Amino acid sequence: MNTKVVVITGASSGIGAALGELLAKQGMSAVLVARRKEALEAVAATCDGRALVLPGDMSVRTDVRRVVDATLERFGRIDVWVNNAGQGISRLPSQLTDEDVDLMIRSNVKSALYGMQEVLPHFKERGSGQLINVSSMLGRLPAVPFRSAYCGAKHFLNALTAMFRAEVAQSHPNIHISLVSPGVVYTDFGLNAVHGGPDSRSFPEGQTAEQVAAVIAGVIESPQPDVYTFKGAHDRVAGYYAGIGVDA
Catalytic site positions: 150
Sheet with strand 51-55: strands edge to edge: 51-55, 29-34, 5-9, 80-83, 129-134, 175-181, 226-228
- Residue 79, helix vs strand vs coil: coil
Determine the residue type at 149. A
Task: List beta partners, residue 82.
Answer: 8, 132
10 contacts 36 by C-beta, under 8 angstroms: no
Q: Where are the beta strands (DSSP E) in the chain?
A: 5-9, 29-34, 51-55, 80-83, 129-134, 175-181, 226-228
